[in-house]
Amino acid sequence: MAKILVIRLSAIGDVAMTVPVLYSAARANPEDSFTILTQAFLIPVFINRPSNIEVIGISITGTEKSLSGLTRFAWAFSKYDYDLVLDLHHVLRTMIIRSFFRLRGKKVYVVDKARKDRTRLTARKNKVFKPIRPVIDRYADVFKAAGLSYEDTFHSLYEEHPANDSLIRETLGEKKGKWVGVAPFAKHRGKIYPIEEMEKVVAALSKQEDITLFLLGGKGYEEAILEQWAFQYPNVKTVVGRYSLDNELALISRLDVLLCMDSANMHFASLVGTKVLSVWGATHPYAGFYGYHQKPEDAIQLDLNCRPCSVFGEKSCFRGDWACMTQLPPERIISKVNEILQ
């Protein structure tokens, strides 16, 4: 029986993508135990996990944020008797953590981030426009390299234990008609469809009496925008800040479709088996971050020779017009939502 440590600290969507791989690996190796080290606030993502999976939280914005704090944590944590360490993140923080285990003679396996392939895919000149091996598959490669059995058997967080949606039923009532989620925001500008255009999408869908729209986003600016839409349009509700992560996952599992960006919500919906209609701008599914088991035809994007210009959407538009988003008509999104619902 081996004790395996798996490390993935951020970002939210990337941590969510570890779930199908980790759960599949745990089921394929029932005699082994797995511990996932991630940020503490993401622990609720790992619900209904196999019994041989443990989750440990770390605060990279708190006590472990500084180099000294992280070093103290890594030194103390390395005393735990893990046989194998799988680094699915491969950044400075995880390099420090895994180095302490290496010093204790533990075997370490690291994910291939395909950095050269990403650079070629996003290059302005001599772009190599072809799919990179998906991140989830590269995660699985690490487990295989460590000598573990692996077969992709994950379908949903709720495949064995139904979602506890009692709070959702209590606050939103019984489901009537079609439920459509809308998550219009992402971390970076290059992944956000123009808000005024997305409002047109929400306004048009809200006029269809058999549809109820649920708006998802973060606190502050996002919350203010979504509150305004919920106030202004019929059959539109905002759920920002109203549910814990596990309850939000339960809500997403009841949606008929989630309209979102290349964002964490795409991955959350994928974990609970909900169909996703995703809008892509500066980034591209070819970079390997597409939603788990989502259909390629459900990604809305424009064919521009400058795309993709970024893996994560954080770069500024060298054209200056964000054509990948601004030239995408809202009518195309509305039509695709209705096509999926029918």
Q: Which domains does the chain have, with CATH numbers?
A: 3-145 (3.40.50.2000), 166-341 (3.40.50.2000)
Written as one letter, the residue type at 151 is E
Q: What is the model's pLDDT at position 300? A: 98
What is the C-alpha to C-alpha distance for residues 58 and 303, in angstroms, rounded to an integer? Answer: 41
The first and second tokens of residue 96, run together, are 């420090």
Q: CB of 50 within 8 A of CB of 67? A: no
What is the C-alpha to C-alpha distance for residues 17 and 46, in angstroms, rounded to an integer? Answer: 11
Q: What is the model's pLDDT at position 219? A: 95
3-state secondary structure of 171: helix
Q: CB of 54 within 8 A of CB of 48? A: no
| Residues 6 or more apart whose Cβ sits within 8 Å of residue 289 | 13, 14, 17, 134, 135, 262, 283, 311
Q: What is the model's pLDDT at position 63? A: 85
Q: Shortest CA distance to 6 belongs to which of 139, 138, 155? A: 139
CB burial string 196-207: b at 16+ within 10 A, e below: ebbbebbbbbbe
Chain Cα centroid distance, residue 239: 19
Q: Shortest CA distance to 236 belongs to which of 221, 217, 249, 220? A: 217
Q: CB of 191 within 8 A of CB of 283? A: yes
How far lies 107's CA from each of 2, 99, 100, 141, in Å? 12, 10, 11, 16
Q: CB of 35 within 8 A of CB of 54? A: yes
Q: What is the model's pLDDT at position 61? A: 85
What is the C-alpha to C-alpha distance for residues 110 and 5, in angstroms, rounded to an integer? Answer: 12
| Residues 6 or more apart whose Cβ sits within 8 Å of residue 310 | 122, 188, 190, 282, 283
The first and second tokens of residue 93, run together, are 């923080």
Residues in the chain: 342
Residue labelled with tokens 């219009």: 184
Q: What is the model's pLDDT at position 62? A: 84
Q: What is the model's pLDDT at position 221? A: 97
| Residue 188 CB neighbour total at 10 angstroms | 17
| φ, ψ dihedrals at 41, nearest 5° | -75, -10
Residue labelled with tokens 């795409």: 266
What are the residue ranges in the chain where pLDDT is below 50? Answer: none
